[in-house]
Amino acid sequence: MNVEKGLINAIVYTEIHDAIGPNPIYWAPSDLPENIRMLVGIKTVTILTGDQGITPESLLIIPFPSLRLKGLIRYIEREDETRRGGYARSAITFLFKEEEDIIFYKYMVYLKAPFNETARKIKELENQQADSESIFEEIKLLGDSVSKLLEDYRSKEIAPHSSEEFPEHRDKKIDIIKFKFKLVVVGDPGVGKTSTILRFSDNAFLRTYIPTMGVNITEKSFRVKEDVLEVILWDLAGQSKFQTMRRHFYQGSEAIILIFDLTNPISFKSIKKWYDDVIKNMDKQPKMIGYIFGNKSDLMDQRKVQESEGLALAKELNLEYIETSALTGSNIEYAFYKIAEAVIETHLEKYKGNKN
């Protein structure tokens, strides 16, 4: 596999050793610089030590800003009485360009299976005390299969889609973008922020929660009546450790979406906190444009927050309320369309006011 020519720039397999720390024992390409190998290893260990040593069970994406790359990581943990704590740990890291991250985020659910199967085989080989080459061969095979999957998904993204109301990027050369605005999306972790954005921007549902590292930015062009707009969506991570950074990301926003999970009353109670956080740090505006999304409306049998509660809170905050489903797409495009209409109206009012 020629990793440098595909979506995957490099692969590093790191053994997390009790005594010597991170120890990269396999990498591709073979001439991958040592400083990159060690940076991957150090960050791999840092994630574990930063979260009470708990080994993540799902795929993770983390940034490597100094390299202008991101890493897709799958940790492997197996029982080993000779190791401290009774467990041996290692990690497979795929490095890729920052600008390609939407493919990895969007199709994460389809990458889980090959990574899980490779992790299972590596555990078996380690337990059998197989030679290192057998393990490295499994990682090479994983790289080949994931590369093929990603290329297929990228080809799908490039293929033209027909939609008059939501034109793709190819239409930008034809239709003049008349309005451009920034919209921030906030809410507790796991309520479906990223899934909602992907459903709107790419009409795809992300079935597993991907922990965002501070902020993800997505652009989407679409038509409202006779005008073409471009919205820049800022998906802000809900973890408290990103609180300081969030304050800077709010600036310049013209609209907001606050999302909670209809099956999680705690996330609903957090909406007021999120609203206050945004207002406190936003540029002064006569009125906040935006919606409260009650997400996961497809799980009606698990509902814990009633529609009347959502409507009452929206009235209190002078926002709109709507119940959505990132799984089915229910009400998502409609809500974004209504937000865009309100932004256009605000722009036109400002223009008339300045003219007078």
Is residue 247 helix, strand or coil? helix
What is the separation of C-alpha 27 from the centre of its chain, rounded to a whole number of angstroms?
A: 26
Mean pLDDT, the chain, as a whole number? 82
The CA–CA distances, whole Å, from 147 to 48, 57, 142, 179 equal: 27, 22, 8, 38
Give the Cβ contact number of residue 118 at 10 Å.
21
Domains of the chain plus CATH, in order, are 3-158 (3.30.450), 169-355 (3.40.50.300)
Q: What is the predicted pLDDT for the residue at 214?
A: 59
Q: What is the predicted pLDDT for the residue at 309?
A: 97
- Read off the pLDDT of residues 18-77 as tens digits, 9 standing for 90 and up: 667 899 999 999 999 999 999 999 998 887 765 556 788 889 998 999 999 999 999 998
Cis peptide before 65 (omega within 30 of 0): no
d(CA 196, CA 293): 10
- Read off the pLDDT of residues 138-154 as tens digits, 9 standing for 90 and up: 999 999 888 887 887 77
Q: What is the predicted pLDDT for the residue at 245?
A: 57
Give the Cβ contact number of residue 96 at 10 Å.
22
- Read off the pLDDT of residues 151-208 as tens digits, 9 standing for 90 and up: 877 766 654 444 445 544 444 444 577 888 889 999 998 899 988 988 888 754 543 3
d(CA 245, CA 177): 30
pTM: 0.52
d(CA 133, CA 66): 31
